[in-house]
Copies of this chain bind each other. A is one copy, B any other.
Amino acid sequence: MNDFIFHNPDKVYFGRNQLEHLSEELLQFGKKALLVYGGGSIKKNGLYDSITSIVKNSGIELFELSGVEPNPRHSTVNKGAAICKKENIDVVIAAGGGSTIDCAKGIAAAAYTENGDVWSLVSGGVWVTKVLPVIAILTNAATGSEMDAWAVISNMDTNEKIGLGGNALIPKVAFENPEYSYTLPSYQTACGAFDIFNHILDNYYLAGEATFDLLLEMQEAVMRTVVKWTPVAIKEPENYEARANLMWASSMALNTVLDGGTVHGCACHAMEHELSAYYDITHGHGLAIVTPRWLTYILDETTAPAIYRLGIKVFGVEEGLNEVDGAKKTIGALSDFCFDTLGLLPTLTDLNIDETHFKSMAEHACAGGSITGLRELLPSDIEKIYKMCL
C-alpha cells in the first residue's frame, strides 16, 4: 500500500432541517453572495425561496447566475467570474447537482485570475490554490462535487471536458438534504447512482494500484448500498432512506475517505468524458454503457480475481467458481444492474452515437499517453472499447 494524505475540511450539514445554518456560514465569509443554479428546478421545489429568504434575512446582498448547463460550459463559468470581479463577491453559493457545483467552483477559481477566464486554468492544468469560498447546496446524489477537490468544465468550441483540480476547490460548507432530490426524474437518479458507483470502482481493486483490506471493505460497503437503494429511489422517489443512502454515498465516493493511497484508475471516466464532450450525453449514462465493455475488454486470468471479487462482494455472485467464469458472471450482473434495474439504454447507438469521432476521442482520452489501471490502455484499445459499445 502507498502513503497518503487525508484532508477534507468540508463541513457537511446532512438532513432535513439544516438549511437554517446557511446564515451563520455565509456571514463568516462576508456580505455579498453569488447564487449559482441551473434550469430552475430549485424554483419548483421551493429551495430557491428558502435560500433567498435566509440570505436576505441575514443582511447579505445576493447576485444570481442561472442557467448552468448539465455539462457546465466554460463560457457560463466566465459569466459568473465576471460578476464576482465586478461586484466584489465574498462567497459563491451553488444550489443544484454536480454541474452547478462544478460551475460555482470554476467561478470561484476564475474570480482570482486576471483575465477571468476559467479555461486558462483548465487548459493549463493549474492546481488551484486560491478561490472564493464555495457553499454547496446539493440536490442530486451523483458527482461527489459537494465534498471533492474537482470541477469538470466543458468547452464545446473545442469538444473538451476537463477536470480542474485543487484542494482549495473543496467546498467550505455543504448542505445535503435528501428531500431536495425527491423531484429528480428516475433517469437522473439512475445516471447519478451509476456515477457514484463508478467513482468507487475507478478507485477499487480494479485500479491496479496497491490497496488494502480496510479500503476494499469500505468501498464494497458503499457500492452495495448504491446497488440496494437506487431501485428503491427510482420506484419511490420520495423514499427518504433511499435518497439519504444515495446522497451520503455520493459524498463518500469522492471525499477521499475511500482513497487511502490508491490512485484513481479512472479508465471509464476518461473514456466517458469524451462522449459527453462530443455528444453532451448524461455522464452517468455514458459510464454505464462503457463500464461493462471495459471490464469485458480487460478480462483475462490476471484481471479476473479483481473483477470476480467485485461480483462476490457487491452483486452476490456465487463463490468458488473458476475466476474467469466468476468475472464473466460479475460483468453480467453489472450489466443487468445498469440496463435492467436502472433501465438505461445499453448502447451508444441508442444515443445516436456512431464511430465517426472514436479515433480522435480515443486519442484525447489518453492525453497523448495511455490510461493506467488494472490494465494499461492505449488509444487503439480505447477505440475498440468504444466500438464494443455500439
Copy number in the complex reads 2
Task: Check A214 against B249 for contact (C-beta < 8 Å).
Answer: yes
- Some 16 contacts from A to B, beta carbons below 8 A apart, are A1-B240, A1-B241, A3-B13, A3-B16, A5-B18, A6-B11, A7-B12, A14-B260, A213-B225, A213-B228, A214-B221, A214-B222, A214-B245, A218-B218, A218-B221, A252-B257
Task: Check B1 against A5 for contact (C-beta < 8 Å).
Answer: no
User: DSSP class of A's interface residues: helix, strand, loop or mixed?
Assistant: mixed
Task: Check B214 against A248 for contact (C-beta < 8 Å).
Answer: yes
Complex-state Cα separation, A38 to B18, whole angstroms: 42
- Given A228-B213, A252-B214, the answer on whether A5 and B16 have CB atoms closer than 8 Å is no
Task: Check B212 against A217 for contact (C-beta < 8 Å).
Answer: no
- Given A224-B217, A244-B212, A245-B214, the answer on whether A6 and B15 have CB atoms closer than 8 Å is no
Cβ of A356 < 8 Å from any Cβ of B?
no
Closest B residue to A5 by beta carbon equals B13
Rounded to whole Å, the gap between the CB of A215 and the closest CB of chain B is 8
* Residue numbers in B under 8 Å from A4 (CB-CB): 14-15
* Residue numbers in B under 8 Å from A9 (CB-CB): 7-9
Task: Check A14 against B8 for contact (C-beta < 8 Å).
Answer: no
Rounded to whole Å, the gap between the CB of A290 and the closest CB of chain B is 26
Task: Check B14 against A6 for contact (C-beta < 8 Å).
Answer: yes
* Residue numbers in B under 8 Å from A14 (CB-CB): 3-6, 260-261
